[in-house]
Amino acid sequence: MAKYGDKPGSVLVNLALMSNAPDKKYPYLVITGPRAQNCNKQGIPAKDDIAELEDILDATTNFITGVTARVLTGTFTHNCDRLNYYYVKDTAGIRSALGRMYSRSYGAYNYTIKIKHDPDWITYRTFLYPDSATFRWMNYSKTVAGLIEQGDSLTKQRDINFEVYFRTDTDREAFADFAKSKGYNANKLLTSQSTVAPFEIIISKKGPVKMEVILACEDELAAIIKKRRGYYNGWTAPLDTVHKQ
């Protein structure tokens, strides 16, 4: 979820495609989907309308598959529109074919069809795919959701753990010295199975499980991790069993 202009929007994206993006076999981008008939003032489709919009998108995906090879990269919902983003091999006749499909099967809905040449997958890499700030928010939300699901009230301070990997033991030791100078504990030195960055370290600092605290710690560590060619693997926190019901 994010704000686009003056209204909220949501993106569903296939993150796994980034490792091979751009796929030169699919140089054209097709953006298509229906417009909700019922949505609130913020442009969010009504709950009852979502199921029908999803059925239309599923039908669109099946239809495009029958016309040309395609890769569905993501879905964007904003200002009453729910749009799928496909990279396709060929666009010959696809606009008119989609228009016929919508008119024949979903005549009650307005719809969008946009087609453009995007061989570098710029839209996927810079719009659909989350930036670093969004990734950090996603990781924070995922960890916190896991704690809450287990009954944690998030009211108790505890050791926040940060996991980092390095290519050499020298880099790891330099990072440990820096972390200690900033008030972290660095007493878990492990050797991972990774052949690229096998020298793991878990450092910790006591504090509340709050986003501003976690992000401040990550910002504090980012420069030294980059300088020492490290790989940051996220944060964890132990469950507060005292407040568990």
Amino acid of residue 77: T
pTM as predicted: 0.67
Backbone angles phi, psi at 53, to 5 degrees: -60, -40
Give the model's confidence band at 245: pLDDT under 50 very low, under 70 low, under 90 confident, else very high.
very low
Express each pLDDT in 51-82 by its tens digit. 888 889 999 998 888 888 899 999 999 888 89
> What element of type H or E holds 86?
strand 81-88
CA distance 61 to 55: 10
Q: Are 225 and 236 in contact (CB under 8 A)?
A: no
Which of 129, 111, 106, 144 is CA-nearest to residue 30?
A: 111
Residue 178, both tokens = 């820096």
Residue-wise over 33-44: b if at least 16 C-beta within 10 A, else e?
Answer: bbbbeebeeebb
Domain architecture of the chain: domains with CATH: 2-128 (3.30.70), 132-243 (3.30.70.970)
Q: Where do the H-state alpha helices sit in the chain? A: 47-67, 94-105, 122-123, 132-149, 169-181, 211-227
Tell whether the model's pLDDT for residue 93 goes beyond 60. yes
What is the C-alpha separation between 234 and 236, in angstroms, rounded?
7
The whole-number average pLDDT for the span 22-42 is: 92
Q: Is residue 160 within 8 Å of 209, Cβ to Cβ? A: yes
